[in-house]
């Protein structure tokens, strides 16, 4: 078995769990070197080997995996011009398929469950965008754009059934916006209760879906920890649990970074077989199991 783990070069670690003969690839956009780096990691002996890099003419900063295939969509910006590249992972090598100019900056990106659309949440602009992915791999026209009522939008992912998507906002913007996603047109429509209203100054940041249950896990930036939501049939989120660690940073202050989710809490993956997910801390790993 093999799988792909994508990340960004930072001062903290990235973790993947494997066992036996399992192996996986770590794909990292390296903006400083203007390239995509590929590592093949073997579970036995915890060994890794860097594969040939893929150079670009612009600094990549974001990356998304096409779950329908071995395709990656890399995004970045050069001199104020947003760029995108579609990359194929074949036989352990990165191959450039297509490059595209984009009409707006991206930020966090993901690919929907069909592999037909690229979704983006722009932190600075407070905007969610959707682009159609062409058959040749090129990032095509923008099919939807939506300005969220608040900025600091931090993520967007479609649900397991590909019918819904959520945009969490951090810091004093503190919101959790709920959308219906049309997988044929690539459109986003706000749900009637648009904001799931997370607790004051929790700052939901990144999230992951449980592989079998209608449950979503959000890491929080201001109130460090994980918030658990049930997703109803109509897509609305209802809070089940707030598992917190350190006291919240309230009020949030501009320029005072302190300790937040990118340092301490990041949900990495949910194992479909064991219903286990790992939370990566700088100093230790905490695992949680669910029936």
pLDDT band at 266 (very low <50, low <70, confident <90, very high): very low
The CA distance from 148 to 34, in Å, is 31
For the chain, domains (ranges, CATH) are 2-213 (2.130.10.10)
For 181-235, write each residue's pLDDT tens digit. Answer: 999 999 999 999 999 999 888 888 888 888 889 999 888 888 777 889 999 999 9
Q: What is the pLDDT of residue 248?
A: 59
Q: State the distance between the two ends of the chain, measured CA to CA, in whole angstroms.
A: 24
Eight-state DSSP code of residue 149: S
Mean pLDDT of the chain: 79
- Compute CA 228 distance to the chain's CA centroid, rounded to the nearest angstrom: 17
Structure confidence by residue, pLDDT tens digits, 9-24: 333 333 333 334 577 7
| 132: three-class secondary structure by DSSP | strand
Is the pLDDT at 276 greater than 80? The verdict is no
CA 102 to the chain's CA centroid: 19
- The tens digit of pLDDT for each residue in 111-133 reads 999 999 999 999 988 999 999 99
């Amino acid at each position: 078995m093999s799988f792909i783990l994508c990340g960004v070069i930072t001062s903290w670690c990235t973790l993947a769990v494997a066992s036996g003969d399992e192996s996986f690839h770590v794909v990292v956009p390296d903006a400083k070197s203007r390239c995509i780096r590929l590592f093949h990691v073997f579970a036995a002996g915890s060994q890794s080997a860097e594969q040939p890099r893929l150079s670009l003419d612009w600094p990549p900063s974001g990356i998304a995996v096409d779950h329908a295939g071995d395709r990656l969509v890399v995004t970045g910006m050069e001199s104020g011009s947003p760029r995108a590249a579609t990359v194929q992972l074949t036989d352990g090598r990165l191959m450039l398929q297509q490059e595209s100019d984009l009409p707006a900056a991206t930020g966090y990106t993901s690919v929907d469950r069909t592999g037909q659309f690229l979704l983006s949440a722009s932190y600075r602009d407070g905007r969610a965008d959707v682009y159609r992915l062409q058959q040749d791999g090129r990032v095509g026209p923008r099919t939807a754009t939506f300005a969220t009522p608040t900025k600091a939008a931090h993520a967007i992912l479609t649900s397991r059934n590909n019918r819904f998507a959520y945009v969490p906002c951090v810091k004093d913007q503190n919101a959790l916006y709920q959308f219906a996603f049309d997988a044929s047109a690539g459109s986003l429509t706000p749900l009637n209760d648009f904001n799931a209203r997370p607790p004051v100054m929790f700052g939901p940041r990144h999230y992951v879906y449980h592989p079998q249950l209608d449950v979503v896990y959000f890491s929080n930036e201001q109130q460090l920890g994980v918030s658990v939501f049930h997703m109803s049939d109509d897509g609305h989120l209802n809070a089940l649990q707030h598992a917190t660690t350190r006291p919240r940073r309230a009020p949030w202050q501009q320029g005072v970074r302190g300790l937040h989710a990118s340092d301490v809490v990041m949900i990495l993956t949910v194992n479909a077989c064991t219903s286990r997910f790992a939370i990566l801390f700088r100093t230790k790993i905490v695992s949680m199991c669910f029936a």
